[in-house]
Protein backbone atom coordinates (compact mmCIF):
# COMPACT_ATOMS: atom_id res chain seq x y z
CA UNK A 1 0.00 0.00 0.00
CA UNK A 2 1.39 3.37 -0.94
CA UNK A 3 0.94 6.04 1.69
CA UNK A 4 1.95 9.46 0.58
CA UNK A 5 0.60 11.47 3.50
CA UNK A 6 1.60 9.07 6.27
CA UNK A 7 5.25 9.05 5.32
CA UNK A 8 6.70 12.08 7.13
CA UNK A 9 10.31 11.03 6.59
CA UNK A 10 9.95 10.76 2.84
CA UNK A 11 8.02 14.02 2.84
CA UNK A 12 10.74 15.83 4.79
CA UNK A 13 13.39 14.43 2.47
CA UNK A 14 11.28 15.50 -0.46
CA UNK A 15 10.89 19.09 0.75
CA UNK A 16 14.56 19.39 1.57
CA UNK A 17 15.44 18.06 -1.86
CA UNK A 18 13.07 20.56 -3.43
CA UNK A 19 15.08 23.31 -1.73
CA UNK A 20 18.19 22.14 -3.54
CA UNK A 21 16.39 22.43 -6.85
CA UNK A 22 15.77 26.10 -6.15
CA UNK A 23 19.37 26.55 -5.07
CA UNK A 24 20.83 24.98 -8.17
CA UNK A 25 18.53 26.94 -10.44
CA UNK A 26 19.33 30.14 -8.54
CA UNK A 27 23.04 29.57 -8.88
CA UNK A 28 22.59 29.22 -12.63
CA UNK A 29 24.83 26.20 -12.80
CA UNK A 30 25.44 23.09 -10.79
CA UNK A 31 28.63 22.30 -8.89
CA UNK A 32 31.00 20.23 -10.96
CA UNK A 33 33.76 18.20 -9.39
CA UNK A 34 34.44 15.84 -12.26
CA UNK A 35 33.68 15.62 -15.94
CA UNK A 36 33.32 12.85 -18.48
CA UNK A 37 33.90 12.64 -22.23
CA UNK A 38 31.03 10.93 -24.01
CA UNK A 39 32.98 10.22 -27.21
CA UNK A 40 30.53 12.12 -29.41
CA UNK A 41 31.74 12.93 -32.92
CA UNK A 42 31.63 16.36 -34.52
CA UNK A 43 31.63 18.68 -31.50
CA UNK A 44 31.91 19.21 -27.78
CA UNK A 45 31.40 16.02 -25.78
CA UNK A 46 32.62 16.94 -22.29
CA UNK A 47 29.94 16.77 -19.56
CA UNK A 48 30.21 17.68 -15.88
CA UNK A 49 29.14 15.16 -13.28
CA UNK A 50 26.73 16.73 -10.82
CA UNK A 51 25.05 15.78 -7.54
CA UNK A 52 23.28 19.15 -7.20
CA UNK A 53 19.77 18.04 -8.16
CA UNK A 54 17.08 16.93 -5.70
CA UNK A 55 16.71 13.18 -5.13
CA UNK A 56 19.47 12.56 -7.67
CA UNK A 57 22.88 11.00 -7.14
CA UNK A 58 25.69 11.54 -9.63
CA UNK A 59 24.39 12.51 -13.07
CA UNK A 60 25.86 13.89 -16.30
CA UNK A 61 24.79 17.50 -16.63
CA UNK A 62 23.46 18.35 -20.09
CA UNK A 63 21.64 21.52 -19.03
CA UNK A 64 20.58 23.13 -15.75
CA UNK A 65 17.44 25.03 -16.64
CA UNK A 66 15.26 23.25 -17.46
CA UNK A 67 17.10 20.21 -16.13
CA UNK A 68 18.52 17.70 -18.61
CA UNK A 69 20.42 15.01 -16.74
CA UNK A 70 21.92 11.90 -18.31
CA UNK A 71 22.54 8.55 -16.61
CA UNK A 72 26.27 7.73 -16.43
CA UNK A 73 26.51 4.61 -18.58
CA UNK A 74 28.21 2.35 -16.02
CA UNK A 75 24.98 2.46 -13.99
CA UNK A 76 23.48 0.11 -16.60
CA UNK A 77 26.13 -2.50 -15.76
CA UNK A 78 25.26 -2.49 -12.06
CA UNK A 79 21.46 -2.72 -12.16
CA UNK A 80 19.02 -4.05 -14.74
CA UNK A 81 16.46 -1.71 -13.15
CA UNK A 82 17.82 1.81 -13.26
CA UNK A 83 17.90 3.32 -9.75
CA UNK A 84 15.53 6.26 -9.33
CA UNK A 85 18.34 8.51 -8.12
CA UNK A 86 20.27 7.96 -11.36
CA UNK A 87 17.34 7.83 -13.77
CA UNK A 88 17.71 10.41 -16.56
CA UNK A 89 15.73 13.66 -16.50
CA UNK A 90 14.34 15.76 -19.32
CA UNK A 91 11.98 18.74 -19.22
CA UNK A 92 11.04 21.18 -21.99
CA UNK A 93 10.09 24.19 -19.88
CA UNK A 94 11.70 25.59 -16.76
CA UNK A 95 8.56 26.47 -14.77
CA UNK A 96 8.40 23.20 -12.84
CA UNK A 97 6.68 23.13 -9.42
CA UNK A 98 9.31 22.66 -6.74
CA UNK A 99 6.84 21.32 -4.20
CA UNK A 100 3.59 19.46 -4.60
CA UNK A 101 0.95 19.22 -1.90
CA UNK A 102 -0.11 15.63 -2.42
CA UNK A 103 -3.16 16.02 -0.17
CA UNK A 104 -4.50 18.78 -2.41
CA UNK A 105 -3.38 17.26 -5.74
CA UNK A 106 -6.17 16.54 -8.22
CA UNK A 107 -6.21 14.83 -11.60
CA UNK A 108 -8.91 16.20 -13.92
CA UNK A 109 -10.52 13.86 -16.48
CA UNK A 110 -12.68 15.90 -18.81
CA UNK A 111 -13.66 16.66 -22.40
CA UNK A 112 -15.64 14.19 -24.47
CA UNK A 113 -16.81 12.13 -21.45
CA UNK A 114 -20.14 11.52 -19.73
CA UNK A 115 -18.98 12.46 -16.23
CA UNK A 116 -15.92 14.70 -15.77
CA UNK A 117 -13.81 13.61 -12.79
CA UNK A 118 -11.51 15.26 -10.30
CA UNK A 119 -9.49 12.46 -8.72
CA UNK A 120 -7.37 12.70 -5.60
CA UNK A 121 -4.36 10.46 -5.02
CA UNK A 122 -6.58 8.50 -2.59
CA UNK A 123 -9.14 7.98 -5.38
CA UNK A 124 -6.39 6.69 -7.67
CA UNK A 125 -4.99 4.40 -4.97
CA UNK A 126 -8.46 2.87 -4.60
CA UNK A 127 -8.55 1.77 -8.26
CA UNK A 128 -7.21 -1.67 -9.32
CA UNK A 129 -3.46 -1.63 -9.14
CA UNK A 130 -1.38 -2.32 -12.27
CA UNK A 131 2.36 -2.85 -12.61
CA UNK A 132 4.62 -3.18 -15.63
CA UNK A 133 8.36 -3.12 -16.25
CA UNK A 134 9.23 -0.80 -19.12
CA UNK A 135 12.04 1.18 -20.67
CA UNK A 136 11.59 4.94 -20.74
CA UNK A 137 13.74 6.23 -23.61
CA UNK A 138 13.94 9.78 -24.95
CA UNK A 139 13.30 10.05 -28.70
CA UNK A 140 16.66 11.78 -28.93
CA UNK A 141 18.65 9.27 -26.87
CA UNK A 142 22.13 8.97 -28.50
CA UNK A 143 21.50 12.08 -30.61
CA UNK A 144 25.10 13.18 -29.99
CA UNK A 145 26.29 10.31 -32.20
CA UNK A 146 24.45 11.61 -35.27
CA UNK A 147 26.74 12.51 -38.17
CA UNK A 148 26.37 15.11 -39.49
CA UNK A 149 25.52 16.57 -36.10
CA UNK A 150 21.95 17.79 -35.55
CA UNK A 151 20.56 20.44 -33.19
CA UNK A 152 19.09 19.41 -29.84
CA UNK A 153 20.21 17.92 -26.54
CA UNK A 154 23.46 16.16 -27.44
CA UNK A 155 22.80 13.02 -25.40
CA UNK A 156 25.13 10.05 -25.22
CA UNK A 157 23.39 6.69 -24.67
CA UNK A 158 22.12 7.48 -21.17
CA UNK A 159 18.79 9.19 -21.94
CA UNK A 160 17.01 5.93 -21.15
CA UNK A 161 16.18 3.84 -18.11
CA UNK A 162 14.31 0.71 -17.10
CA UNK A 163 11.89 0.70 -14.16
CA UNK A 164 8.96 -1.10 -12.63
CA UNK A 165 5.99 1.25 -12.86
CA UNK A 166 3.08 0.88 -10.43
CA UNK A 167 -0.23 2.67 -10.64
CA UNK A 168 -3.53 2.36 -12.48
CA UNK A 169 -4.52 1.64 -16.05
CA UNK A 170 -5.53 4.69 -18.05
CA UNK A 171 -8.43 2.56 -19.34
CA UNK A 172 -9.84 2.16 -15.82
CA UNK A 173 -9.73 5.93 -15.27
CA UNK A 174 -11.35 6.64 -18.64
CA UNK A 175 -14.05 4.04 -17.99
CA UNK A 176 -14.96 5.79 -14.74
CA UNK A 177 -15.53 9.02 -16.67
CA UNK A 178 -17.30 7.21 -19.51
CA UNK A 179 -15.83 8.03 -22.91
CA UNK A 180 -18.52 9.29 -25.31
CA UNK A 181 -18.81 7.83 -28.77
CA UNK A 182 -16.88 9.87 -31.31
CA UNK A 183 -13.82 10.27 -29.06
CA UNK A 184 -10.61 10.03 -31.10
CA UNK A 185 -7.75 11.03 -28.82
CA UNK A 186 -6.72 11.47 -25.20
CA UNK A 187 -4.53 14.47 -24.39
CA UNK A 188 -2.32 14.56 -21.30
CA UNK A 189 -0.95 17.69 -19.63
CA UNK A 190 1.24 18.16 -16.56
CA UNK A 191 1.81 20.88 -13.97
CA UNK A 192 4.90 22.33 -15.68
CA UNK A 193 4.52 25.56 -17.66
CA UNK A 194 6.44 27.48 -20.28
CA UNK A 195 8.38 30.44 -18.91
CA UNK A 196 6.87 32.83 -21.43
CA UNK A 197 3.15 32.97 -22.09
CA UNK A 198 3.34 32.72 -25.87
CA UNK A 199 5.20 29.40 -25.75
CA UNK A 200 3.15 26.19 -26.10
CA UNK A 201 2.39 24.25 -22.92
CA UNK A 202 3.79 20.70 -23.16
CA UNK A 203 0.93 18.26 -23.95
CA UNK A 204 0.84 14.91 -25.73
CA UNK A 205 -1.97 12.78 -27.12
CA UNK A 206 -2.60 9.12 -27.78
CA UNK A 207 -5.34 7.69 -29.98
CA UNK A 208 -8.38 6.60 -27.97
CA UNK A 209 -7.69 2.91 -28.74
CA UNK A 210 -4.08 3.18 -27.64
CA UNK A 211 -5.09 5.01 -24.46
CA UNK A 212 -7.53 2.17 -23.68
CA UNK A 213 -5.20 -0.76 -24.51
CA UNK A 214 -4.83 -1.82 -20.86
CA UNK A 215 -1.06 -1.24 -20.81
CA UNK A 216 -0.91 2.56 -20.94
CA UNK A 217 -0.99 3.58 -17.29
CA UNK A 218 -0.73 6.34 -14.73
CA UNK A 219 2.21 5.54 -12.44
CA UNK A 220 2.48 6.78 -8.85
CA UNK A 221 5.49 4.59 -8.13
CA UNK A 222 8.73 3.84 -9.88
CA UNK A 223 10.76 0.85 -8.66
CA UNK A 224 8.33 0.65 -5.72
CA UNK A 225 9.10 4.14 -4.45
CA UNK A 226 7.44 7.51 -5.00
CA UNK A 227 8.46 9.09 -8.27
CA UNK A 228 11.31 11.55 -7.83
CA UNK A 229 10.06 15.11 -8.35
CA UNK A 230 12.11 15.46 -11.52
CA UNK A 231 10.67 12.21 -12.92
CA UNK A 232 7.10 13.46 -12.56
CA UNK A 233 5.97 13.25 -8.92
CA UNK A 234 3.23 12.52 -7.96
CA UNK A 235 1.82 10.94 -11.15
CA UNK A 236 3.02 10.30 -14.69
CA UNK A 237 1.83 8.59 -17.82
CA UNK A 238 3.65 5.39 -18.86
CA UNK A 239 3.31 4.30 -22.48
CA UNK A 240 5.09 0.94 -22.76
CA UNK A 241 7.03 0.49 -25.99
CA UNK A 242 6.67 4.13 -27.06
CA UNK A 243 9.25 6.92 -26.81
CA UNK A 244 9.09 8.86 -23.58
CA UNK A 245 7.88 12.11 -25.12
CA UNK A 246 4.42 10.57 -24.50
CA UNK A 247 5.19 9.75 -20.85
CA UNK A 248 3.74 13.02 -19.50
CA UNK A 249 5.08 13.89 -16.03
CA UNK A 250 3.30 15.60 -13.11
CA UNK A 251 0.14 14.62 -14.94
CA UNK A 252 -2.87 16.60 -13.68
CA UNK A 253 -5.12 16.91 -16.72
CA UNK A 254 -6.54 14.32 -19.11
CA UNK A 255 -8.77 15.61 -21.88
CA UNK A 256 -10.71 13.31 -24.19
CA UNK A 257 -10.87 14.88 -27.65
CA UNK A 258 -13.50 14.45 -30.37
CA UNK A 259 -11.02 15.64 -33.03
CA UNK A 260 -7.35 14.92 -33.68
CA UNK A 261 -4.96 16.91 -31.48
CA UNK A 262 -3.31 19.71 -33.44
CA UNK A 263 -1.34 21.18 -30.53
CA UNK A 264 2.29 22.13 -31.23
CA UNK A 265 3.78 19.02 -29.56
CA UNK A 266 1.78 16.71 -31.84
CA UNK A 267 1.46 18.70 -35.07
CA UNK A 268 4.89 20.34 -35.25
CA UNK A 269 7.37 18.91 -32.76
CA UNK A 270 8.33 15.25 -32.34
CA UNK A 271 7.57 14.35 -35.94
CA UNK A 272 9.66 11.83 -37.86
CA UNK A 273 10.08 11.10 -41.55
CA UNK A 274 7.49 8.52 -42.61
CA UNK A 275 10.23 6.13 -43.74
CA UNK A 276 11.70 2.89 -42.28
CA UNK A 277 13.67 3.73 -39.09
CA UNK A 278 12.75 7.40 -39.65
CA UNK A 279 15.75 7.49 -41.98
CA UNK A 280 16.45 10.14 -44.63
CA UNK A 281 19.64 11.27 -46.35
CA UNK A 282 21.20 14.29 -44.59
CA UNK A 283 19.93 17.48 -46.18
CA UNK A 284 16.65 16.01 -47.44
CA UNK A 285 13.65 18.32 -47.08
CA UNK A 286 9.97 18.16 -47.91
CA UNK A 287 9.44 14.59 -46.72
CA UNK A 288 6.12 13.43 -45.24
CA UNK A 289 6.17 13.24 -41.44
CA UNK A 290 4.19 11.39 -38.76
CA UNK A 291 4.24 11.74 -34.96
CA UNK A 292 7.06 9.69 -33.42
CA UNK A 293 5.66 6.47 -31.96
CA UNK A 294 7.00 2.94 -31.27
CA UNK A 295 10.56 2.26 -30.20
CA UNK A 296 13.04 0.13 -32.14
CA UNK A 297 15.24 -2.65 -30.71
CA UNK A 298 18.59 -1.70 -29.20
CA UNK A 299 21.44 -3.42 -27.37
CA UNK A 300 24.53 -2.18 -25.55
CA UNK A 301 27.78 -3.40 -24.07
CA UNK A 302 27.96 -2.41 -20.41
CA UNK A 303 31.24 -3.93 -19.19
CA UNK A 304 33.56 -3.16 -22.12
CA UNK A 305 34.22 0.03 -24.08
CA UNK A 306 36.72 1.23 -26.68
CA UNK A 307 39.00 2.00 -23.71
CA UNK A 308 39.08 -1.65 -22.53
CA UNK A 309 42.37 -3.58 -22.81
CA UNK A 310 42.61 -7.39 -22.45
CA UNK A 311 45.54 -9.86 -22.41
CA UNK A 312 46.34 -11.87 -25.58
CA UNK A 313 44.38 -15.12 -25.63
CA UNK A 314 42.45 -14.18 -22.48
CA UNK A 315 38.91 -15.30 -21.85
CA UNK A 316 36.81 -12.13 -22.04
CA UNK A 317 33.40 -12.10 -20.38
CA UNK A 318 31.19 -9.54 -22.10
CA UNK A 319 27.72 -8.50 -21.04
CA UNK A 320 25.15 -5.80 -21.41
CA UNK A 321 21.53 -4.90 -21.87
CA UNK A 322 19.02 -5.07 -24.70
CA UNK A 323 15.42 -4.17 -25.30
CA UNK A 324 13.09 -5.01 -28.15
CA UNK A 325 11.43 -1.59 -28.52
CA UNK A 326 7.69 -2.23 -28.75
CA UNK A 327 8.18 -6.03 -28.42
CA UNK A 328 10.15 -8.48 -26.34
CA UNK A 329 13.75 -9.45 -27.06
CA UNK A 330 13.96 -12.63 -29.16
CA UNK A 331 17.77 -12.79 -29.36
CA UNK A 332 20.94 -10.81 -28.91
CA UNK A 333 23.81 -11.86 -31.18
CA UNK A 334 27.48 -11.03 -31.19
CA UNK A 335 29.77 -10.81 -34.23
CA UNK A 336 33.56 -11.03 -34.13
CA UNK A 337 34.00 -10.61 -37.90
CA UNK A 338 32.38 -7.28 -38.67
CA UNK A 339 28.88 -8.68 -39.02
CA UNK A 340 29.58 -11.55 -41.42
CA UNK A 341 28.67 -14.23 -38.89
CA UNK A 342 26.78 -13.98 -35.61
CA UNK A 343 26.69 -16.10 -32.47
CA UNK A 344 23.93 -16.06 -29.88
CA UNK A 345 24.48 -14.69 -26.40
CA UNK A 346 22.80 -16.06 -23.26
CA UNK A 347 19.80 -14.03 -22.16
CA UNK A 348 18.98 -13.24 -18.52
CA UNK A 349 15.54 -13.27 -16.86
CA UNK A 350 12.56 -11.99 -18.85
CA UNK A 351 10.77 -9.14 -17.04
CA UNK A 352 8.24 -8.67 -19.84
CA UNK A 353 8.16 -7.33 -23.37
CA UNK A 354 9.12 -3.75 -22.56
CA UNK A 355 11.95 -4.15 -20.04
CA UNK A 356 15.71 -4.38 -20.36
CA UNK A 357 17.01 -7.92 -20.81
CA UNK A 358 20.53 -8.78 -19.75
CA UNK A 359 22.75 -10.69 -22.20
CA UNK A 360 26.19 -12.21 -21.71
CA UNK A 361 28.83 -14.19 -23.56
CA UNK A 362 32.39 -15.44 -23.15
CA UNK A 363 34.85 -14.89 -25.94
CA UNK A 364 38.55 -15.50 -26.43
CA UNK A 365 40.88 -12.59 -27.17
CA UNK A 366 43.15 -13.03 -30.21
CA UNK A 367 46.96 -13.06 -29.90
CA UNK A 368 47.29 -9.38 -30.76
CA UNK A 369 45.63 -6.34 -32.27
CA UNK A 370 42.04 -5.29 -31.84
CA UNK A 371 39.08 -7.37 -30.78
CA UNK A 372 36.15 -5.80 -32.60
CA UNK A 373 32.72 -6.84 -31.34
CA UNK A 374 29.35 -6.02 -32.81
CA UNK A 375 26.07 -6.53 -31.03
CA UNK A 376 22.61 -6.98 -32.53
CA UNK A 377 19.21 -7.33 -30.88
CA UNK A 378 16.29 -8.93 -32.73
CA UNK A 379 12.81 -8.53 -31.26
CA UNK A 380 9.97 -11.05 -31.24
CA UNK A 381 8.52 -9.35 -34.31
CA UNK A 382 11.82 -10.22 -36.14
CA UNK A 383 12.83 -6.55 -36.32
CA UNK A 384 16.59 -6.28 -35.89
CA UNK A 385 19.07 -3.46 -35.45
CA UNK A 386 20.67 -2.18 -38.64
CA UNK A 387 24.33 -1.98 -39.57
CA UNK A 388 23.90 1.54 -40.96
CA UNK A 389 22.96 4.40 -38.62
CA UNK A 390 19.73 6.19 -39.42
CA UNK A 391 19.65 9.97 -39.85
CA UNK A 392 16.93 12.62 -39.57
CA UNK A 393 17.06 16.34 -38.78
CA UNK A 394 15.83 15.96 -35.19
CA UNK A 395 18.23 13.16 -34.26
CA UNK A 396 15.50 10.70 -33.29
CA UNK A 397 15.35 6.91 -33.04
CA UNK A 398 18.99 5.95 -33.26
CA UNK A 399 19.29 2.16 -33.09
CA UNK A 400 22.37 1.24 -35.09
CA UNK A 401 24.33 -1.92 -34.21
CA UNK A 402 26.85 -0.98 -31.51
CA UNK A 403 30.54 -1.76 -31.86
CA UNK A 404 33.19 -2.21 -29.15
CA UNK A 405 36.85 -2.05 -30.16
CA UNK A 406 38.85 -3.74 -27.41
CA UNK A 407 42.63 -3.47 -27.39
CA UNK A 408 44.64 -6.70 -26.99
CA UNK A 409 48.01 -6.04 -25.38
Ligand X SMILES: Nc1nc2c(c(=O)[nH]1)N[C@H]1C(S)=C(S)[C@@H](COP(=O)(O)O)O[C@H]1N2
Per the document, the length of the chain is: 409
Q: Is 295 in the site for Mo ion (CB under 5 A)?
A: no
Nearer Cβ to ligand X, position 132 or 332? 132
Minimum gap (Å) between residue 252 Cβ and ligand X: 9
Answer for the pair 206, 261: CB distance below 8 angstroms, yes or no: no
Scan residues 321-380 and list those touching ligand X (CB under 6 A).
none
Nearer Cβ to ligand X, position 192 or 384? 192
What is the C-alpha separation between 78 and 233, in angstroms, rounded?
25
Q: Is 91 in the site for ligand X (CB under 6 A)?
A: yes
Minimum gap (Å) between residue 325 Cβ and Mo ion: 16
Answer for the pair 111, 144: CB distance below 8 angstroms, yes or no: no
**Which helix (H) or strand (E) is 322 found in, with range?**
strand 315-323
Minimum gap (Å) between residue 403 Cβ and ligand X: 25
Phi first, then psi, for residue 107 (nearest 5°) are -105, 120
Residue 262-281 contact track with ligand X, rule CB under 6 A, x = bound = --------------------
Q: Is 250 in the site for ligand X (CB under 6 A)?
A: yes
SS3 for 13-82, per residue? Answer: HHHHHHHHHHHHHHHCCCCCCEEEECCCCCCCCEEEEECCCCCCCCEEEEECCCCEEECCCCHHHHCCCC
- Judged by CB under 6 A, the stretch of 4-12, 29-37, 90-98, 301-309 that binds ligand X is 90-98
Work out what residue 255 binds among ligand X, Mo ion, none; the CB cut-off runs from 5 to 8 Å by kind: none
Residue 185-214 contact track with ligand X, rule CB under 6 A, x = bound = -----x-x---------x------------
Residue number closest to ligand X, CB atom: 190
Q: Which residue in 251, 255, 290, 244 sits closest to 269, CA to CA?
A: 290
What is the C-alpha separation between 161 and 244, in angstroms, rounded?
10
Minimum gap (Å) between residue 278 Cβ and ligand X: 16
Q: Is 65 in the site for ligand X (CB under 6 A)?
A: no
**Percent of the chain that is helix, strand, coil (3-state, to 5):** 15, 35, 50
Q: Which residue in 394, 145, 137 sits closest to 271, CA to CA?
A: 394
Q: Contact positions toward Mo ion, by CB under 5 A? A: 90, 138, 245
Residue ranges in contact with ligand X by CB under 6 A: 87-92, 136, 138, 190, 192, 202, 231-232, 244-245, 247-250
Amino acid sequence: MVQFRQDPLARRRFLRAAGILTASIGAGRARADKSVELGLPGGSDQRDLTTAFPQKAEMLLQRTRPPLLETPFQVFDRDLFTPNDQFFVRWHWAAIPEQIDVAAFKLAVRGHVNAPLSLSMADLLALPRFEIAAVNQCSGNSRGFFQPRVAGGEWGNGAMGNARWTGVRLRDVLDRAGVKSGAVAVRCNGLDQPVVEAAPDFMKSLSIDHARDGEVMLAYQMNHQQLPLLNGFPLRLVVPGWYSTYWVKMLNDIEVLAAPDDNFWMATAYRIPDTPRANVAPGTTGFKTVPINRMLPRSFFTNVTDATTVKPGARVPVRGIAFGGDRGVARVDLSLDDGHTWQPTALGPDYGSYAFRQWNADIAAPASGLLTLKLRCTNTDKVEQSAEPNWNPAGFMRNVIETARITVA
